[in-house]
Each structure stands twice: as C-alpha cells, then as structure tokens.
Structure 1
C-alpha cells in the first residue's frame, strides 16, 4: 500500500507509523522532507529561534557519559576550570544580547549544582541581574530538586535544560551508568511544576537504533517539553564513542523530519554537528523541519562565527517566505 505522508500535516503520527517512515529512500524521502517543512510552517511559523550558551564550568565531571569530553574518567585533554566569575558570565550574556540571541544558557559540568553552594549562589545572582535584560535566561546545571528549581525560577531563570540523550531503555548501555535517566525525567517534571519551560532532546549517532530515536521523540512529546535540541555525535577521541563513524546526511535529515511530524509545534534545534557533520547540507536541516539553532559555539567544540550564522538565518528566512 502506498504510504500517505501528507496526512501527517494534520493527523497525529503513531510510533509504529514513525518507524515505517524510517525506511524511506529516494523520492519518498524528499517528500518526507517537504511534508516536514510544511508542518513546521503550519505549526511554528517562519521564525528561527536562536540560543547562545556558555561553558560556565568545564571538565572534572564525576559522571561517565560516554560521548562527553568533560568526564574525569576519560583522557580528552580539554581545558578545565571552575565556575566563571559573575562579571564574566554577565559580559558573555551581554554579548549574546548584542547579537540578538533569543536566549542565553549557563551550562556546567558535573552531576548538579546544589543550593547553598557558592556556584549556585553565583548562578542565582546572575539570573537576578540578567533577567532584567531583553533575553531569556536558561540553565543546564544537572540534576536539581523542586526547591532548587523554584529558587532559580524566582530569580529569573525562564527555561531549564536537561537532555534525555536517547531512549530511556538504551540510556544505561550507550550513555551513562553513574546516574539513572529517570533522575533526569524527575528534574524535567520538577522544572515544569515550578513554572519553567523545558528544553530536552538528545544525541543521535551513539549506536542507538531507529526505535531508540523514535522512543526519545515520543518521550519528549509525553513530557510536553518546549524545545528539542538534536545533537549529532561528533566523536571525541578518548571517550568510549570516540571511534564511531559519523552518521550519513540522509539519516540525520530523516531523523529531523520524523521528529517534526511527531513534535509538530515544538522548537526543534539542530545543535552540535550542524557545521562539522552536515557541512554543505546544513541548510537542508531547516528545509526538513528544524526551526532553531545554537549560535556562538558549543561546550568544548567551536562553532562558526555569529555573523555567518545570522547571514545564514536571513537567507533561510527568504527561502521560507518565498
């Protein structure tokens, strides 16, 4: 029977139907991209959402995430440092404001920044100061409880980030063993309970199956998160995933498109790997359902210039509106 992809512009897609789409090739794959782009336009409009992050505390992380250069368990030769000073963080945020970024996120290594510590108080003060500015303040600071999140929300943090990384069932095998993925889920639910928006996605290319990718998308849907960052594994030497082959372009674009059909009205962001792996096909991601990107670089990997990214965004908007 001929697969009717266009019905998903209006209809919800089931997990079984999404898995069928994973097999598409050739002209049917191009049709999938086109339909995903129509879904993006219908439910999200023609706005590209941008965010900027700072690697506020780098390295010496106790966790064993197999993709991450910042784990103390792997020899990756990255720069390590404690939490940046408040003035440095605020100046970086002001640069993001000057670049017209929609939001600015403090990202720290480690299992979590607990209330009562100097680091927590610095982040809280940062939120109090910068939430008065024309930018949305976000945090990605590990596993927090409801009280810790509530205090940050009252200080001015609008959005909290915590990635599932992959399916719940595959997490222990391909991501980490030093913490439970359900702890991440509890942090997400606690952030929502105190009134924060949530950014939650993951990484593709860690050896997961198509079923794992689809499961992650449906978990994000069930949790009702606001934004889904999709990272493409850029293998880092010294980590357990350091020798993996990178995903093919068609597989990456297919993943983005299927995520759009599942998560119709959500912000789907193409994050790490956008420049280094998609390369000449980077623009295709935004013609296959994506509508957000990170500008100004990542945690331990540099991105391209902010100026080039904004030129890219302006050209993309012209295509979307033509």
Structure 2
C-alpha cells in the first residue's frame, strides 16, 4: 500500500532534488487507489511553487500539409484526415484574436503552425503580429525547427516563450516519427534558450510508450532546464496510424501529471490537448495531480473546454487565476 504519508515523504525528497532511481521505479509501479494517494504529494509540491492557475490559449495559424510523419498528427500530409488545410493566416486576423484574448484572464497567446518550419515571408508575418501585441499579452509561438537568426528576430519583436515539444522519449521517438530526428528537436530547444527565450516543451501521451519512457521524457526535460511542460493526451485521429490507440485511462493520465510534478517540482506544468476527452469525471483532479496551468479553448484540430467553461471549473474549485 502507498499512503498519503509516503507521497509527502517523496515530495520532500523531490523538493531537495534527491529522488532516487528506486523512488522513480516506485512511482512507475503505482496503480489504482495508490495513484489517488500520490496526489497528496503532487498537490503539496504545486502549492509550494504556484499560488494560481495560469491560462494560455493557442491559434492554429497555418493548418495541414505538414511534411513530417508524426504518427499521432492530424496535420501530416502522409495521412488522410478531415483536418482543415489553409495557408498562414493574415496578421490582422491573428492580431484581432490576440486583442480579444488580452481582455480576458488568459495570460499567454501562442501562434502555432503546421510544418517543420517557416518561410522568411512567414517569419515577417509573425514579427508583425508580435509587434502589435507585445505590450498587451505574453506571446508564445510554436513554429517548428528554427535557426538562431529567426529565433533572435522573434525575440526582438516581442516573443516571450518558444514552444517545441519533444513529443516522447528518445527511446520511443523512432516509432512515431521518421522524417526528422530527436536531436533536431533538442537543438531547437537549446537555440531558443541561447537567445534568451523562455522554453515550453513537453509531449503527447498514449502513443504506446511505457511508463518508464514517460519518466525518461521527464528526466530529459529536467536536464534541458525548460521553463514549462505542456502535457498532451492523445485524441486518436481517424486516418492516422494511431487511430485505434486506446492506452489511456483517466487515472493513468493523472499518474502521468503527478510523475512530472515530482520530477520537475518547480516548473510550470500545463495540461493541454486531450484534457476534455481523457479525464472524464476525474478532470478536477488534474490540479491536485500537479497542473499549474491549462490550455483553454480549442486545440489545433479538436475542440476543448471553452474559456467560460474553464473559468467556471476554476471558480467551483476556488482556485485563483
């Protein structure tokens, strides 16, 4: 049996950065009611570093026809899905969306594009958007694999944080993507840090990875010293290789969040894609499991909780935003 006292003891070790491999193995093996006990420690850690829940929102600024073959992705050109396809949206439309968000409790607005990277003319469009919004809301972007030059230009224009997921562990990555390497992703994170950007990097869970590989990803992100970790939970997309994947349960999703909180106790942990679809009645427990933030509104190609729905949820739980 794993008790709340056990969880708090592990949390104290996590605070001192003294979790051992045996502790991680113990976390990996927890199941059933023991996962609920685990939340005593993860919620303690979250409250120790965060006094409010941060909200962020994204816009799909360019959709579909991605040159990469990530097995979970609705936007890959390799798979036949019903995902909308459109070129880079006009700066005026993206600025309007940002202005509207700036009037809400949402703290961060992120521009997200399909594809491995951006063309120079698209970088200029992003710069226009950043310039118009930089004094109104914190600005993030997820634009693929970019050069030091482009990242520097974006930071100068007002970009605060760069998002670039590792997606999964290094050992599992070859099973979900063959068109680029894990090392390319890590290099992009290092470049973003080099130019002084805050870095947001996490992954997608439910791809078939083991719990040991979940921990492997968390440890990699710890080594990279990223600032925020977005956790996404697979929504199987018809037409993709993972359309019939069925690896997640609400309790297992909570376990994943908690493990990340124990390994990265002082980092922002943001529950993002698949929150609406994968947690069921256990959804309010994401905050006890370790979430210090949530992505509100729609995801790239699927719907999520609306801002009003999320605000009502947080109000009912008496969380500050």
Q: Tell me, yes or no, whether TM beats 0.5.
A: yes
Q: Which residue of 2 aligns with 1:9?
A: 11
Q: Which residue of 1 aligns with 2:58?
A: 53
- The alignment yields a C-alpha RMSD, in angstroms, of 1.7
Take 1:214 and 1:105, find their aligned partners in 2: how far apart are those partners?
27
Asked whether 1:128 is paired with 2:100, we answer no
Please tell me whether the aligned partners of residues 139 and 161 of structure 2 are also in contact (alpha carbons under 8 angstroms): yes
Q: Which residue of 1 aligns with 2:210?
A: 209
Q: Which residue of 2 aligns with 1:85?
A: 90
Take 2:10 and 2:216, find their aligned partners in 1: how far apart are those partners?
18
| Residue 26 of structure 1: how far off its partner (Å) | 4.1
Please tell me whether the aligned partners of residues 163 and 201 of structure 2 are also in contact (alpha carbons under 8 angstroms): yes
Could you list the runs of 5+ residues in structure 1 that have no partner in the other structure?
none
Take 1:301 and 1:118, find their aligned partners in 2: how far apart are those partners?
28
Q: Which residue of 2 aligns with 1:295?
A: 296
Asked whether 1:33 is paired with 2:39, we answer yes
Q: Which whole-Å deviations, capped at 9, do the CAs of 1:203-231 have from their partners, x for residues lacking one?
A: 11000011110000011111111111111
1:144 equivalent among 133, 136, 146: 146
Please tell me whether the aligned partners of residues 251 and 282 of structure 2 are also in contact (alpha carbons under 8 angstroms): no
Q: Which residue of 1 aligns with 2:178?
A: 177
| Residue 291 of structure 1: how far off its partner (Å) | 1.3
Q: Which whole-Å deviations, capped at 9, do the CAs of 1:68-118 have from their partners, x for residues lacking one?
A: 00001100021100000010000111121122211000000000014xx21
Q: Mean alpha-carbon deviation: is it higher for 19-28 or for 215-224?
A: 19-28
* Aligned pairs for 1:294-313 within 5 A: 294-313=295-314
Please tell me whether the aligned partners of residues 60 and 110 of structure 1 are also in contact (alpha carbons under 8 angstroms): yes
Q: Mean alpha-carbon deviation: is it higher for 160-169 or for 245-254?
A: 245-254
Asked whether 1:71 is paired with 2:73, we answer no
TM-score norm. by structure 2 comes to 0.94
| Residue 39 of structure 1: how far off its partner (Å) | 0.8
Please tell me whether the aligned partners of residues 123 and 150 of structure 2 are also in contact (alpha carbons under 8 angstroms): no
Take 2:308 and 2:125, find their aligned partners in 1: how far apart are those partners?
30
TM-score norm. by structure 1 comes to 0.94
| Residue 10 of structure 1: how far off its partner (Å) | 2.4
Counting matched residue pairs gives 315
| Inter-CA distance 221–310: structure 2 relative to 1 (3 Å threshold) | same
Please tell me whether the aligned partners of residues 19 and 210 of structure 1 are also in contact (alpha carbons under 8 angstroms): no
| Residue 28 of structure 1: how far off its partner (Å) | 2.9
Q: Which whole-Å deviations, capped at 9, do the CAs of 1:242-290 have from their partners, x for residues lacking one?
A: 1111401111111111110111011111111111111221111111111
Take 2:272 and 2:247, find their aligned partners in 1: how far apart are those partners?
15
Q: Mean alpha-carbon deviation: is it higher for 152-161 or for 265-274?
A: 265-274
| Residue 9 of structure 1: how far off its partner (Å) | 2.2
Please tell me whether the aligned partners of residues 19 and 214 of structure 1 are also in contact (alpha carbons under 8 angstroms): no
